[in-house]
Chain A
C-alpha cells in the first residue's frame, strides 16, 4: 500500500508514542483517605468527590432529577453554588471560570430540558478545548427508555460533543466515575465530560473512595513529553532558517502559565517573530517588539505576510483552523512546518507538517530550549535582520489605522479607548461573537495568558456575558469586561440577574451598531448588498434594561463623552450595561477574503468592491 507522508509520519509517531513514558497533568487535592470506606448516598458521593477534586464553585440550575444532589449541597458550606438563569449560562460561566483559572469548570443541571439547554456550552467547550465536568440528572434507571417525565437520551445527545461521557447505572461506580471524569477533562487535550446520574443512583448507598483510592476503568495517559529526536530535528531546522515564525495557539494557554513563560524565553533565544491565533492571545506579550499581532482572516497585515513568506514555521498548540490558513494550497508555500500538539490527530489534519511532535506545549518548549542550548545552536543573524527589515515594512502599513469621526464613535475607537482605561488594571476580557469580537482581538492588547475569553471554534453568540460571570466569580476583585454586540448580548442577557444576585461587578460593553454587523458585512461584500434579516428593527433600551435588572446603565453617543463614560463604568463597583452607540456600517478589516491566500488580504483602504475579488468558489466557503 502506498503511504503518503502524513501517514508515514503518523506511523513513525505511533512508534515513538509507545516508547515514551506517559504522564498526566491533572492535580487533585489529596483526600483524607481515612474516610475512604464511608458509606454515603450517591448525592453525597457527588459532593464529596467535588470537594476532593478541589472544586470550590459550581454553576447550576435545579430540577426534579437532581434534587438529591441539591439536598446534599444544602448542608455543604465549602462548595459555592452559583445559580444561573439558563443552563447555557451555566456552561459558559464554567468555561469562563476554567479559562481564567486553569482549573476545570463544574456544571450541575437537571434531566431533559436542563441537559439540552447545556448542549451549546458543551460543544463550545469541546471546540475550544476547555475542561468541564457537567453533571446531569437522569430519570431513575427503571424508567430509562419509557419516555418518562423529563427524560432524554442525554448520553446519546452528548456523545459526539464530549471528550467522554458516562451514564452511571450503579452507585458503586460513582466514586470512580467522578474522579475519572476530572482526570479526563483536565489531562491531554482538555474538554468537556458529562456524567449522567439517574435519580435512584443519587439515593443509593455505596462506599466512597477518594481520588487516590479509585481504580480507573480507562487507561487514559496522554503523551506529555515530546520525542527527543524530533525535538532535536525541530531546533536544528529553526537554527538553519532565515525567515522563522512562531505560530502559537490556544494549546499554549491550555499548557498553563509556564508554557507562556517558556514561549517568551524561546522567542528571545531564536529572535523569531511571534503571531497567535484568536485563542492564544496573551501567551506572548503584545508589548514585545517581536509580537506581530493575531493572524488569520482578520489578523494583522504583518502577521499574515510573515506567515506567507516564512521558511520555517513553528506551530505550538494551534490547529491550522480554516480562519487561520485561508486557501490551503497557498498557505505558507515556501515553509517547512514544525507542529507541536498534545493531540496526535491535530498533526497533519489540515496541513501537512515536516516535523510533528506530540506533547504538551510547556514540556516540549522546555526540551526545545534545553536542546537549543545543549546543541549550541544559533541563528543566522544577518538573515534574521533582513527578515525583520521586511517585517517592519509590512508593519509600517499600519493595517489597523482608521479615520475617527467628529460626531460618531467608531467601534475601533471605542475598543481603543476602553483599552486605554483598562490596561493598567487587573483586567479580564470576554467577548460575544461578531465584528466587535474581532475588533476586541485587534485593538485590545494582552500581556498575559488567561486574560482573554472568547468563543473561537463554535463562535457562540451569547458566550461573553455568562463567561464574564464565571470569570468574576473566580476573580472577585478584578475588572471583568464583556466586549459585546447588540445582537449577541440578547442571547444570554438573563444572566445579568445572576450578576446582581452574586454582586458581580461585570461590565458589559456593547458596541451597538443595531446590526448583526458581521452578517451585514458578508452580505455587503458577498451577497450584493442584499441585507436579508440582519438588521434589528427593534432593540431594547439597554440603559433601562440595566435598571430593570438592578444594574447600572450607561450610554455613550458622541466621541466627546466616551472617555468619561468608560471611566465611570470602570469606577462603579456594580454590574454595568454600557450602550456604546457606534457607526452602523463599519466593516472589520483587514480581511482575507474566503478562498484567498494570506498575501491577498485586503485592507480597509482597498475594500471597495470585494464581490469582484472573491470568486464563486470563495463565496461558497463559510
Chain B
C-alpha cells in the first residue's frame, strides 16, 4: 500500500497497487456516437470494461444512463472517473462502488439441462435464490434471477454441476438508496 505522504513523494509505481472493481453510473446526453466515444475512451487508454449497460432514461431531457463496471488500481480508477467527467456529453458521473448508498443489481437468464435428482436440486437452489422458472421442458429449466452481481455469480456456480448450459446476463445496473437523485 503506498504511503500517503512519503518523504520522497512521487513513487508512481502503480503496478504495486491492488486492482479493484468499480461501478460507475454515467448520465450522458443521448446522441449518436456517445457510446462509441465512451467505449473508445476505455479502449484507447487500455482500461477494462467488465460490463456495460446503456439505455435512454429520459426522452425529453435526451439523457441515457450508462452503467459501467471496470477494474483498475485506485490511480487508474481516478483517471477513469476524470476522463468520464471530461467528455462533453457527460452530465454526471457517480462512483457507485464508493457510495455507501450504492445499490447494484443485475438480471440473468440461466438455462439448466438435467434429469432426476439434479433437476430437483436445481429447482431447490433456485427457490433459495428466489429465481423464477420462466420456461421448462422435461429435461430443462430457464431461470430468471435478479440480484447483486455476486449473488448471480454464486447462483451460476451452484448451477454449473447441476447442468448449467447457458447463461445470459444484463450487466450491472445501479442506483442509490434515499431520496437524492443523480
| Interface positions of A (Cβ within 8 A of B) | 1-11, 14, 155-156, 159-160, 163-165, 167, 169, 184, 217-220, 328-329, 331-337, 343-345, 347-352, 354
Contacts and interface: CB of A to CB of B under 8 A. Distances in A.
B97 interface: yes
Contact of B82 (A1, A217, A336, A344): A344
Give 9 closest A-B pairs by Cβ, nearest first.
A345-B82, A4-B74, A7-B74, A7-B78, A164-B88, A10-B78, A333-B8, A5-B4, A344-B82
Contact of B10 (A160, A328, A347): A328
Nearest to A163: B88
B10 A159 contact: no
A3 B75 contact: no
Interface residues of B, number: 42
A156 B78 contact: no
Contacts of B11: 329
Given A160-B41, A217-B62, 4 more contacts: A4-B17, A11-B95, A14-B85, A348-B78
A335 B33 contact: no
Interface in B1-39: 1-2, 4-5, 7-13, 17-18, 20, 22, 29, 31-33, 36-37
B154 interface: no
A352 B9 contact: yes
B86 interface: yes
Interface string B111-123: 0000000000000
Contacts of A11: 95, 98
B91 interface: yes
A9 B95 CA distance: 14
A334 B89 CA distance: 40
A250 to B, nearest CB: 17
B85 A344 contact: yes
Contact of B9 (A169, A218, A335): A335
A159 B12 contact: no
B176 interface: no
B139 interface: no
A405 B11 CA distance: 45
11 contacts: A1-B20, A1-B98, A6-B74, A7-B75, A7-B78, A159-B37, A164-B88, A169-B32, A218-B89, A331-B10, A345-B85
B10 to A, nearest CB: 6
A159 B11 CA distance: 34
Interface in B57-86: 62, 73-75, 77-79, 81-83, 85-86
Contact of A167 (B13, B33, B89): B33
Contact of B91 (A164, A219, A335, A349): A219
A181 to B, nearest CB: 10
A343 B83 CA distance: 9
A328 B8 CA distance: 11
B37 to A, nearest CB: 6
Contact of B78 (A1, A6, A337): A6
B182 to A, nearest CB: 12
A169 B8 CA distance: 54
A345 B79 contact: yes
- In this complex, the member of A5, A155, A328, A349 whose beta carbon has the largest number of chain B beta carbons within 10 angstroms is A5
Contact of B33 (A8, A10, A155): A155
A379 B10 CA distance: 26
A2 B1 contact: yes
Contacts of A165: 33
A189 to B, nearest CB: 8
B40 interface: yes
Nearest to B97: A1
Interface in B100-131: none
B44 interface: yes
Nearest to B89: A218
Contacts of B22: 1
Given A5-B2, A156-B36, A159-B33, A10 B82 contact: yes
A344 B86 contact: yes
A347 B11 CA distance: 16
A348 B75 contact: yes
Contacts of A164: 88-89
Nearest to A156: B36
Contact of B86 (A6, A331, A333, A345): A345
A214 to B, nearest CB: 15
A347 B31 CA distance: 29
Contact of A329 (B12, B40, B41, B83): B12
Contact of A352 (B12, B91, B97): B12
A337 B10 CA distance: 10
Contact of A218 (B82, B83, B88): B88
A157 B97 CA distance: 34
Nearest to B40: A160
Given A217-B29, A218-B88, A345-B86, A329 B10 contact: yes
Nearest to B85: A344
Interface string B33-57: 1001100110010000000000000
Contacts of B13: 329
A8 B91 CA distance: 22
A334 B74 CA distance: 24
B157 to A, nearest CB: 23
Nearest to A331: B10
Contacts of B95: 11
A399 B1 CA distance: 41
Contacts of B44: 160
Nearest to A358: B82
B10 A333 contact: yes
A4 B1 CA distance: 8
B83 A345 contact: yes
Contacts of B36: 156, 159
A2 B85 CA distance: 22
Given A160-B40, A217-B31, A218-B89, A333 B1 contact: no
